[in-house]
Structure 1
Amino acid sequence: MGGSWTASDVAGLLRRPTATDDKYSRGVLGIRTGSELYPGAAVLGVEAAWRTGVGMVRYVGAARDLVLQRRPETVTQDGRVQAWLIGSGTDASARRGDETHALRAILAGDVPVVVDAGALDLVVGATAPLVVTPHAREHAKLRSALGLGEYDAADPDSRARAAAETAAALGGAVLLKGSATVVAAPSGWSTVVEAGTPWLATAGTGDVLGGVVGALVAGAADDGSLDAERLARLAASGAWLHGHAANLAAAAAGKGGGPITALDVADALPRAVAEVLAGG
């Protein structure tokens, strides 16, 4: 275990834009999330990606109109992307055949893919560089699909070993969500992200996390090859920023913190990023 992830670790992976940058060099994230049942997941992921500092978001999915109402700068035409975020707000049991075909094509591509929720059933055998973001129940299903055994999800050491084992079997980075988030790479590298607040346990915050991680991965794509360990470090940085933004949002509610929503977390992301870049 590589210890707890810190603000200094995040700062080493964030990139401040320069005068020579444009929207493409800052990263283009493709997002294929949301469904008729859960359109809000798409809005939250897109919002979070923009507020983390990505150069462009291309959204392709069932919540196009809602996404454009909230974030009209979002591009809704197909085109080149440097990373994908898929699965948030979708249900594998309700997925149509054409959508499965489209997701499998993304997972067979060359660009990194952040995979959440309803697309996790498709990752076994994928050839694209991967970051998977399961919670405990989703992780158990993924491990079963990989032929891996059960573990004690209540024991921190067991969780850490299981995440590392899953990453090795999958060949991709694993971000195992929880009050303490474990991030692991197939190389054996792993860390724990403890930033956050209990107020973060509310609907939609996982969709925000997907947008943050996707934005960081897309923004790093022009820096060279993104191997699985670098993807894991970016995922850990996304989890840390997500938790810090939640802390900022909760603190704004009053002394000692107070209730927050997923959009509150997204709204606090620019400040969270700015504080890290400033060394605060």
Structure 2
Amino acid sequence: MESEWMPWAERDAAAYVAVPTERDDKYSRGVLGIVTGSAEYPGAGVLGVEGAARTGLGMIRYLGDATKLVLSRRPEVVTLPGRVQAWLIGSGTDSGELGLLGTLFSDALASDEPVVADGGALEMAAEAPRAGVVVTPHYRELARMLAHVGERVSAQTIATTPSVWASRAADILRVTVLLKGSTTFIAEPLGARIAVSGAPGWTATAGAGDVLGGVLGALVATHADGAFEPGTLARLAASAQVLHATAAQRASQGGPIVALDIAEALPDAVRQLLAIRGD
């Protein structure tokens, strides 16, 4: 790992967990708009909502294509448009077949709110870079994003030197990049460089990235006022990765897990981090 990369651990992440007070209501605690899931991959919508809800925030507005499944799992979710503090878009969607979802992605990316972009929204985020956007690709998706803006690099090259390409991608794409892997690298354009490790190998399972998107969306929604300040989005992304890894460790206990296990372990992971900071 290059010396410029700052490690991020539970004590660091604990500072970015928002704890409600008696003065808070569901709106002040953060409202996250989620546009994820599709007919082909409806589970991504469920997993992202679960990840966000179990990390802690006031309300979720779900506007994706898996409404029935999402409501069957989380009946408290609101399915009408309205004001939000942040967006999570793209998980479980195909950039080639977006339809109405593409319009919703464009609206989110053109809004004044911070955005977490994944899956089918990644290339759109590459086309219209702005402050307040964090993308969460794996190495194959990052190769496609870079190709979309004329930077040719193979997925294997990115996998071999992920820290190099997370850094370059942030500067080229002009968005904050969270490059998923056994060590996750988070880079801000011409700014912060953070590395997070410690997730068990069992975390490499279908849907785990969708849960991570929900965790990050929740953290961004609860810190939306500062999300455009230099370094904040990278630190929120690193904190989401730490929470996700901690939940995976608690769920696994040395054995195999599935993505929903990680989501269900998030409240315990939050409590673990709050205990570290003394709350």
Deviations 1:216-236 (A, max 9, x none): 0000014x4523521111011
Name whichever of 125-134 and 34-43 sits farther off: 125-134
1:245-264 to 2 correspondence within 5 Å?
A: 245-251=247-253, 257-264=254-261
Deviation per residue, 1:223-259 (Å, 9 max, x gap) = x4523521111011101110110000001xxxxx111
The answer to whether the aligner puts 1:146 opposite 2:143 as a matched pair is no
Aligned to 1:160: 163
Q: Is the 8 A contact 2:36 2:88 kept in 1?
A: yes
Q: In the alignment, does 2:44 pair up with 1:41?
A: yes
In structure 1, the partner of 2:240 is 238
Q: Is the 8 A contact 1:87 1:119 kept in 2?
A: yes
Q: Secondary structure at the match of 1:235?
A: helix
Aligned-partner Cα distance in 2 for 1:128–1:106: 13
Which of 117, 120, 132 is the matching residue for 2:119? Answer: 117
2:15 matches 1:12: yes
1:99 Cα deviation from its structure 2 partner: 2.6
Q: Bigger shift: 146-155 or 55-64? A: 146-155
Tell me whether 1:270 sits opposite 2:267 in the alignment: yes
Instruction: Give the superposition deviation at 1:195.
Output: 2.2
Task: List runs of 5+ in structure 1 lacking aligned partners.
Answer: 252-256
Among 80, 86, 93, the residue aligned to 1:77: 80
Out of 179, 187, 197, the residue aligned to residue 184 of structure 1 is 187
Measure, in 2, the Cα distance between the counterparts of 1:105 and 1:153: 30
State the shift of 1:67 in Å.
0.5
Q: Which runs of 4+ in 1 moved over 6 A?
A: none
- 2:220: which partner in 1? 217
Aligned residues: CA RMSD: 1.5
Letter in 2 for 1:134: P
Gaps of at least 5 residues in structure 2 are none
Task: Map Cα deviations across residues 133-171 of structure 1 (whole Å, 9 max, x no partner).
Answer: 00000001111223334273344xx32121112112222
Cα drift, residue 100 of structure 1 = 1.8
Give the % identical residues.
Answer: 52
Would you say the 8 A contact 1:43–1:66 is kept in 2? yes
1:29-72: per-residue Cα shift (whole Å, max 9, x none)?
00000001111100000011000001110000111111111000
Letter in 1 for 2:255: G
The TM-score, its normalising length taken from structure 1, stands at 0.92
Q: Which segment is superposed worse, 205-214 or 12-21?
A: 12-21
1:201 aligns with 2:198: no
| In structure 1, C-alpha distance between the alignment counterparts of 2:191 and 2:228, rounded to whole Å | 16
Residue 177 of structure 1 aligns to which amino acid in structure 2?
Answer: K
Match of 1:254 in 2: none
**29-38 or 125-134, larger mean C-alpha shift:** 125-134
TM-score (norm 2): 0.93
| Cα 1:272/1:225, change in 2 over 3 Å | closer
Contact 2:45-2:66 at 8 Å conserved across structures:
yes
The aligned length equals 271
Residue 81 of structure 1: how far off its partner (Å)? 0.4
- Say which SS state the counterpart of residue 233 (structure 2) adopts: helix
